[in-house]
């Protein structure tokens, strides 16, 4: 079986976030040592709003509420009313005294974000990934702190927008924290210290894998329009999710980038397609992809992801150097010097929220901007290389005007769908070596 299913949540799943209750009841909130401060609302209560009410944002909200007795959830929004109400009821069961959202602060549609931002000190953003940069930008412009899930953009335009939002947060003295939780794992921090100190020598190769079954498939509800269905099932539509290199491999590539001291690849090539996953519920994502990245330092990274049922699963990173190898998931190094991490364990998902809320309490902003944007851009580069079948350079892709259509500003629930299924219920897919970037951007028509 797999060496390590790293990257899975410890104690809290954003797809099954109710499990956080066991963690919290086990003492997460004890001895937090709060630093009192007056927040944007003029009180010592930190008001939190959710943009997105699926499992990811619900999990982030549960973790945020666990960081101290001064946190309250006050507003929520999602495209769909049913998701808002389900998340509200589930969170109330866990935090009956901290969830103070009345029905007047439950919003739906594509513009509910405005009211959530207005009502909150901290905005938690975890929704269709296309919107992550835009909502982050809007919250920071309004003077609010931000937690935003990965990926931090699904195309070059979106990633640059996210970087600009992070720069603005720094100017305004606001915190913005990324959902790339690996950098908050204390065991991985110790691994990286040793890698950076040269214990494995110069890095020459990395194997990075995220192999699993498909994301949850949301079946079409009676009466849903095609566009509503695509928002409902957004993980499986590239114009909303960016496909699986940004969605999944971004975790692996963030750790790889960390190990390489933030070095960006010079270029990459990739291959992928769909061989086993068919039907309307699976949208227009590929189900297997591999990207090979090359770096000026001489390192080469072999990164692969798969979303097929009934197959071998593995989420791991193996970092190979001239003096040894780090099995990152196991927090183990073998080679000229052998080492095994045996220190304390932490839940990085909780730790990232603790860091965010403590930064607000202390008045000492933190900003994940550089690594969250750069690691995401690495995966956007890889995804476009897979789709086109071409070798692509990082510096060129990072400057591209490519973005999936419609833009955030153009998108409406009553618009023409960006992609439509054929008579078999399957959506058109990019054809490497054939499809142009213009066709890939959409709208996609056969």
User: What is the DSSP-derived secondary structure letter of residue 367?
Assistant: B
One domain for residues 333 and 249? yes
- 77 and 175 share one domain: yes
- Domain containing 249 equals 187-345+376-441
pLDDT tens-digit profile of 148-195? 999 999 999 999 999 999 999 999 999 999 999 999 999 999 999 999
Structural domain count, the chain: 2
User: Does residue 21 belong to any structural domain of this protein?
Assistant: no
Show the low-confidence residues of the chain (pLDDT under 50): 1-16, 18-19, 21-38, 41
> Alpha helix locations (H) across 142-265?
156-172, 186-196, 226-232, 238-241, 244, 250-259
Give domain status of residue 28, yes or no: no
Residue 39 has what pLDDT?
59
The SS3 assignment for 158 reads helix
pLDDT at 424: 93
In this structure, is residue 27 part of a structural domain? no
- Of 413, 388, 411, 409, the closest CA to residue 400 belongs to 388
Same domain as 300, residue 354: no
Residues 296, 392, single domain; the answer is yes
Hey, what are 334's tokens? 């073998």
Distance CA 229, CA 281 (A): 9
Q: How high is the pLDDT of residue 279?
A: 86
Decide if 433 contacts 440 (C-beta within 8 A).
no
| Co-location of 288 and 362 in the same domain | no
DSSP secondary structure of 279-327: SGGGTT--SEEEEEEE-TTS-EEEEEEEE-TTS--EEEEEEEESSEEEE
Q: Do 88 and 201 belong to one domain?
A: no
Identify whether residues 112 and 199 lie together within a single domain: no
Residue 7: inside a domain: no
CATH number at residue 295: 3.30.360.10
- What integer pLDDT is reported at residue 3 of this predicted model? 34
Q: Enter the pTM of the model.
A: 0.93
Contact 357, 64 (CB under 8 A): yes
pLDDT at 40: 52
| Burial bucket for residue 142 (CB in 10 Å: 0-12, 13-18, 19+) | middle
Closest CA to 134 of 404, 406, 368, 409: 409
Distance of alpha carbon 264 from alpha carbon 427, whole angstroms:
33
Hey, CA dihedral for 217, 222, 224, 226, is it positive or negative?
positive
* pLDDT of 73: 99
pLDDT at 445: 86
Place of tokens 């992070």: 166
Neighbours of 51 (CB within 10 A): 28
- Count of CB atoms within 10 A of residue 312's CB? 11
Q: Using alpha carbons, select from 58, 119, 68 the residue that is nearest to residue 89.
A: 58
């Amino acid at each position: 079986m797999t060496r390590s299913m790293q990257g899975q949540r410890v104690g809290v799943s954003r797809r099954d976030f109710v499990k956080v209750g066991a963690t919290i009841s086990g003492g997460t909130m004890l001895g937090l040592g709060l630093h009192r401060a007056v927040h944007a609302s003029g009180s010592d209560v930190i008001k939190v709003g959710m943009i997105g009410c699926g499992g990811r944002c619900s999990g982030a909200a549960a973790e945020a509420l666990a960081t101290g007795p001064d946190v309250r959830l006050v507003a929520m929004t999602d495209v769909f009313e049913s998701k808002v109400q389900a998340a509200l009821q589930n969170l109330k069961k866990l935090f009956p005294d901290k969830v103070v959202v009345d029905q007047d602060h439950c919003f739906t549609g594509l513009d509910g974000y405005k009211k959530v931002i207005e009502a909150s000190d901290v905005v938690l953003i975890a929704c269709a990934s296309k919107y992550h940069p835009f909502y982050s930008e809007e919250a920071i412009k309004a003077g609010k702190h931000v937690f935003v899930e990965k990926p931090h953009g699904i195309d070059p335009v979106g990633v640059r927008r996210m970087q600009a939002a992070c720069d603005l947060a720094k100017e305004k003295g606001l915190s913005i924290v990324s959902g790339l939780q690996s950098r908050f794992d204390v065991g991985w921090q110790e691994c990286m210290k040793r890698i950076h100190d040269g214990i494995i020598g110069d890095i020459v190769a990395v194997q990075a894998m995220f192999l699993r079954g498909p994301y949850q498939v949301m079946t079409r509800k009676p009466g849903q329009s095609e566009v509503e269905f695509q928002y409902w099932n957004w993980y499986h539509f590239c114009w909303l999710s960016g496909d699986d290199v940004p969605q999944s491999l971004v975790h692996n590539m963030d750790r790889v980038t960390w190990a390489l001291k933030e070095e960006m690849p010079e270029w990459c090539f990739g291959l992928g397609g769909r061989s086993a996953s068919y039907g309307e519920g699976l949208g227009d994502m590929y189900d297997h992809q591999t990207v090979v990245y090359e770096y000026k330092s001489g390192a080469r990274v072999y990164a692969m992801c798969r979303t097929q049922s009934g197959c071998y699963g593995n989420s791991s990173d193996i970092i190979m150097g001239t003096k040894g190898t780090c099995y990152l998931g196991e927090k183990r190094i073998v080679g000229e010097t052998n080492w095994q991490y045996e220190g304390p364990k932490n839940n990085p998902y909780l730790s990232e929220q603790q860091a965010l809320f403590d930064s607000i309490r202390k008045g000492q902003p933190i900003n994940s901007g550089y690594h969250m944007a750069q690691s995401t851009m690495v995966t956007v580069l890889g995804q476009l290389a897979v789709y086109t079948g071409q070798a692509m350079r990082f510096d060129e892709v990072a400057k591209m005007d490519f973005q999936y259509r419609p833009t955030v500003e153009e998108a409406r629930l009553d618009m023409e769908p960006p992609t439509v299924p054929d008579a078999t219920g399957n959506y058109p897919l990019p054809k490497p070596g054939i499809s142009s970037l213009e066709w890939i951007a959409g709208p996609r028509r056969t």
